[in-house]
């Protein structure tokens, strides 16, 4: 049951669904045959980004005046669903759903004209560098600094677990421009750093337990000089900007995890109907049917909630708490589905040659990135 065949979906119109077919055809042709090679190399080539840009898959919300299609977030969600369901890994959601939003909302006119057309075309690949070796969810504890020197910032520090780190041409770096600010968040800014700046270095292509083709890296900044015009928005407002964009970021994660959970379920139904055990099919056992029935009911609820959240966001009404709840609920559902579906595969589920094994490994990080699920509970709890 692909995302567009789930009964009763309400988030999308006919134009969205026509776009979905374009995206699906592209991924089947240009993505699926190459995933094995990309996983081996632990990198999706830049050429794939450029091809995706040609058909409008990147940053579809960018206004036409900056080279985009001027569409709504529903088109981003379509891309997220299809890539997650089909299983083509690339950091498109980070560029389209997160970085693009920062530039659109807070970028100067000069920054928008310089970068947005390049993001849309895939000519420029972006990353956002928040996490540091000793700092995860607690952003106020970052140590990367951007000190003023004349009309420049001099940036020093290191970042880790950075999506698109190896491919990135432009990095949005969260740094402290005022280390003495009280409270600490008022001293944080977002600095645009081009990858060809002297002193910028890429570290290791990190070896993860899942999402093998996803480009995740270390980044280092050693006396990197950038003009003060590279500050995104106002100096000292970086933390506020980050918080204001979180509902969309977390909704994006919810979209992808729901679609991948549905894919795991569909794979498992097919597997159990063809796998023999004790002179019958695995699917015919009562336990199998009960497990799958339970998951089917939860997936049904998941799609209904997801459509509700997308529609709320399209109207500008999705709150940070609702975004956190969506991220929490759908990633927990994804893990439950993955784990139970792997179990129904038996020994085959532990073999990487079966899709469920790769999906299970890839799903583990969903409850960590975008803010750990423990942090999501804390945020929701504060609103009660």
Residues designated as active site: 249
- Cα separation, 352 vs 361, in Å, equals 10
3-state secondary structure 352-374: CCCHHHHHHHHHHHHHCCCCCHH
3-state secondary structure 40-64: HHCCCCHHHHHHHHHCCCCCCCCCH
Residue 150 tokens read as 């004349």
- Residue pair 100/112 in contact (Cβ under 8 Å)? The answer is no
Residue 88 tokens read as 């083509």
User: What are φ and ψ of residue 281, in 5° steps?
Assistant: -95, 145
- Residue pair 248/323 in contact (Cβ under 8 Å)? The answer is yes
């Amino acid at each position: 049951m692909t995302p567009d065949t789930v009964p009763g979906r309400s988030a999308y119109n006919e134009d969205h669904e026509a776009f979905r077919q374009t995206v699906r055809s592209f991924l089947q042709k240009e993505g699926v045959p190459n995933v094995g090679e990309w996983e081996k190399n632990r990198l999706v080539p830049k050429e794939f980004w450029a091809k995706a840009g040609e058909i409008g898959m990147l940053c579809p919300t960018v206004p036409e005046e900056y080279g985009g299609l001027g569409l709504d977030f529903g088109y981003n969600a379509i891309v997220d669903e299809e890539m997650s369901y089909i299983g083509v890994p690339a950091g498109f959601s980070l560029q389209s759903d997160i970085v693009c939003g920062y530039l659109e909302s807070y970028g100067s006119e000069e920054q928008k004209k310089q970068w947005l057309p390049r993001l849309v075309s895939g000519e420029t690949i972006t990353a956002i560098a928040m996490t540091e070796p000793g700092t995860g969810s607690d952003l106020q504890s970052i140590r990367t600094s951007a000190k003023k020197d004349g009309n420049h910032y001099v940036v020093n520090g290191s970042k880790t677990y950075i999506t698109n780190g190896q491919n990135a041409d432009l990095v949005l770096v969260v740094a402290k421009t005022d280390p003495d600010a009280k409270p600490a968040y008022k001293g944080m800014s977002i600095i645009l750093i081009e990858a060809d700046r002297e002193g910028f270095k890429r570290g290791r292509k990190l070896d993860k337990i899942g999402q093998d083709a996803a480009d995740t890296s270390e980044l280092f900044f050693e006396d990197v000089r950038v003009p003060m015009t590279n500050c995104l928005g106002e100096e000292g407002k970086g933390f506020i900007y980050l918080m204001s964009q979180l509902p969309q970021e977390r909704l994006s994660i919810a979209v992808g995890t729901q679609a991948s959970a549905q894919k795991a379920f569909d794979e498992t139904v097919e597997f159990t109907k063809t796998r023999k055990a004790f002179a019958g099919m695995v699917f015919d056992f009562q336990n199998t049917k009960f497990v799958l029935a339970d998951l089917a009911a939860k997936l049904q609820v998941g799609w209904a909630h997801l459509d509700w959240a997308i529609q709320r966001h399209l109207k500008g009404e999705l709150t940070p708490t609702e975004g956190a709840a969506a991220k929490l609920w759908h990633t927990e559902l994804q893990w439950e589905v993955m784990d139970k579906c792997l179990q129904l595969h038996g020994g085959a589920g532990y073999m990487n040659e079966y899709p469920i094994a790769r999906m299970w490994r890839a799903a583990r990080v969903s409850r960590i990135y975008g803010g750990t699920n423990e942090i999501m509970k804390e945020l929701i709890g504060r609103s009660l």
